[in-house]
Amino acid sequence: MPSFPLIPFGIAVFLGAHGLRKKSLSPSGAITAMVVGFLIMAAPLKAFGISLIVFYLTGSRATKVGKEKKASLEEGHMEAGYRDGWQVLCNSFTALVASTLWSILFAPESIHSWFYTAFVQPSLDLGHVALNPSGRAYSPVDWCAVDPPVSQDWSRKLVFVALGHFACCLGDTLASELGVLSRSPPILITTFKRVPPGTNGALSVLGTSASALGGVVMGFTLALSLLMENPACASPAAGPAGIINLTTQLIAYGAFGGLVGSLIDSLLGATLQRTRFSLDSKRILQDHSE
């Protein structure tokens, strides 16, 4: 069994406890955040864990911006940020799967690979099926995690899946938390008619810009963490042009993910979620509001 990743475990416990103390997480949400956070941050490619931390801290900070105005626009706004275990899992599942698969494929010494080999593989009767036919274990000096040729491109694909996940989630979070503060009235994505701030499916210039910005933040975070921990990504052979190309590509992909993810969420909100408006308080009612 590999050595237990103490640092990722400590950070995960701290972030979960922090969310519980700040009342942004319920007890089940805090426990789920600790488990999911530990598994993502325990991946040998630290870019996964760093992306998670930046996503969590940025999203948490955004919820604090303009609290008084949000409360005046949305009844029950403070309670809306209280996330339970299922909500935490839904907001992290794709990145969890991507980082876990990456660890199993490219890090045989990881705790993920050990668990798969010891419990999953025997129970599924997979024998000695090789998930990584090339057998190339992760070596930050030898190859960059987003290089296309590595093991039929799986490393690059899984890293980009994680980036897409965090970009979509942070983009949607910033659009929701900052868009409601827009000075100009938002429009409904399906009818383009003006609606009250906080309406499900509403779009504003500030919110849409914030969603793209969230993706840019995640793309830049991933690029910077890869360049710092993965010398092969910043090798002399790549040169300044290669580094700029890598950074630009990740930022552009992140911006696209943040923007598109937010638009999809708005479309789903407009078509599948109800919006209740109180004529007495002139505020949007959250689902749990009375």
Other CB atoms within 10 A of residue 185 CB: 13
Tell me: the pLDDT tens digits for 24-68? 889 999 999 999 999 999 999 999 999 999 999 999 899 888 887
pTM flag (> 0.85): yes
The residue type at 171: G
Cite the DSSP H helix spans in the chain. Answer: 6-21, 27-41, 46-64, 67-73, 77-80, 85-90, 93-106, 111-115, 121-123, 154-179, 205-229, 239-272
For position 60, what pLDDT does the model report? 87
Burial class of residue 61 in the structure, from the number of CB atoms within 10 Å of its CB (0-12 exposed, 13-18 middle, 19+ buried): exposed
Tell me: the pLDDT tens digits for 77-127? 555 557 899 989 999 999 999 999 999 999 999 999 999 888 887 777 655
Cite the DSSP H helix spans in 137-204. Answer: 154-179
Tell me: the pLDDT tens digits for 262-284? 999 999 999 998 878 776 666 77
User: What whole-number percentage of the chain has pLDDT above 70?
Assistant: 87
Scanning the structure block, which residue is given the tokens 């040729």?
149
How many angstroms separate the CA atoms of 18 and 209, rounded? 29
For residue 75, pLDDT over 90 is answered with: no
In what side-by-side order are the strands of the sheet with 74-75?
74-75, 283-285, 276-278
For position 23, what pLDDT does the model report? 84
